[in-house]
Amino acid sequence: MSGYSVPAVVLGQLGALPTLETVRVAPPERGEVLVRMVASGICHTDISYMRDARVTPVVLGHEGAGIVEQVGAGVTHVRPGDHVVINWQPKCNQCRHCLSGRSDLCENIQGTAVPRVFQGDSPIAVMLNAGTFCPLVVVPAGGAVPIRKDMPLTKAAMLGCAVATGVGAALHTAHIHPGDSVVIIGAGGIGLNIVQGARLANAGAIIVIDLDESRLELARQYGATQTLPGGQPDLAAAVRKLTAGRGVDHVFEAVGVPALMLSGIDMLARGGTLILVGAAARDATLPFHPRRFMSQQQQIMGCIYGNIRPQIDLPLFADWYSDGRLHLDEMHTTSVRLSDVPEVFATLDQDRGIRPIIEFEAQA
């Protein structure tokens, strides 16, 4: 059987901890790219898969960067040796949304990748068309986005989810205008990048809420103009106090907790928008008063992957990092090996900083 025998972090079943398994990765076929991973970030969504993965077994991981190892027939935009960021939303380029210029709404994203990973003879799923907790990853051509070679791939990994989602939410979902006021609830990898997006958009007030003071400190470094410790009884009142009673134009909920979303609604100014970026539990519900959305012309929006245009925006984010306009180094506080990942999942209560990053070259 052709292919490569490699270790991978696999979630065998819901509710279990992931384990390190030996898998076989098949070579890329037509329209596919084989990437040798250099780094992969551990994102909150990887952890939430333990309770809500739709299929198991599944190779975890979706935020990563690496070097093209091999390309299948028909792939012309990259060649072996190119540095790429994994885009976990490759488009079909054929559905109604793709053809109408809204490929962020592609109807076929879930099924874009054909599994090229096998356990024994059985193909197994990969998370979000990627499965980056594996040293070799086969993605559809659109899932490998080339970037400049002078950006360290350990930092570039974060472009693929945290930066795309956070900076994208601010610039491409909310379309923050200069002077707009913003609240960001949750200052993890996504929230801190929303802060950066708000700063890049020249927002006015950028108010950040989190339970952890060290994250609020980082938020201030990244552009927050005010911070509020989470956990206080009436966060919305605290935000109104900071905004002359008016509330804010954009509230980003980056935690995925319904009570915080409701609190976010109460922070909105007239005409304001609540943007749901955090992944709630699949069965979560939200009771709210629709009348005020009518009379105050407010909105609630969902946001996945920051509505970015991956082929344009991921290389642009790499440029912004290199220009010093996008800060990433401070978020990368912990490096781990692939074999450490099950342990990281088992000890989530330990503080490992904003973004633990798997460094594959440290493997051998």
Catalog residues that contact Zn ion under the rule CB under 5 A. 43, 45, 91-92, 95, 98, 106, 108, 161
CB of 252 to Zn ion, least distance (A): 15
CA nearest 90: which of 256, 314, 320?
A: 314
In the bound state with Zn ion, the residue whose beta carbon lies nearer, of 20 and 304, is: 304
CB of 103 to Zn ion, least distance (A): 6
In the bound state with Zn ion, the residue whose beta carbon lies nearer, of 24 and 62, is: 62
CB of 97 to Zn ion, least distance (A): 6
Q: Based on C-alpha coordinates, what's the Rg of the chain?
A: 20
In the bound state with Zn ion, the residue whose beta carbon lies nearer, of 19 and 108, is: 108
> Pairing mode, if any, of strands 226-229 and 206-210?
parallel
* Alpha-carbon span 363 to 330, nearest angstrom: 23
* Alpha-carbon span 56 to 64, nearest angstrom: 21
* Alpha-carbon span 55 to 73, nearest angstrom: 29
Neighbours of 193 (CB within 10 A): 34
Is the Cβ–Cβ distance between 345 and 47 less than 8 Å? Answer: yes
In the bound state with Zn ion, the residue whose beta carbon lies nearer, of 106 and 176, is: 106
Dihedrals φ, ψ of 305, to 5°? Answer: 55, 25
CB of 355 to Zn ion, least distance (A): 10
- Residue 341 parent element (H or E): helix 341-346
* Alpha-carbon span 303 to 306, nearest angstrom: 6
Is the Cβ–Cβ distance between 243 and 269 less than 8 Å? Answer: yes
In the bound state with Zn ion, the residue whose beta carbon lies nearer, of 111 and 245, is: 111
> What per-residue string of b and e applies to 77-93 under the rule 16 or more CB within 10 Å gives b?
ebeeebbbbbbbbbbbe
Q: Both tokens of residue 348?
A: 């989530």
* Alpha-carbon span 362 to 335, nearest angstrom: 9
In the bound state with Zn ion, the residue whose beta carbon lies nearer, of 127 and 251, is: 127
CB of 93 to Zn ion, least distance (A): 6
Q: Both tokens of residue 266?
A: 């109460």
SS3 349: coil
In the bound state with Zn ion, the residue whose beta carbon lies nearer, of 32 and 249, is: 32
Dihedrals φ, ψ of 102, to 5°? Answer: -115, 60
In the bound state with Zn ion, the residue whose beta carbon lies nearer, of 164 and 242, is: 164
Angle between helices 235-242 and 258-265 (to 10 degrees): 30
Partners of residue 146 on adjacent β-strands = 84
CB of 91 to Zn ion, least distance (A): 5
In the bound state with Zn ion, the residue whose beta carbon lies nearer, of 57 and 90, is: 90
In the bound state with Zn ion, the residue whose beta carbon lies nearer, of 24 and 44, is: 44
Is the Cβ–Cβ distance between 288 and 150 less than 8 Å? Answer: no
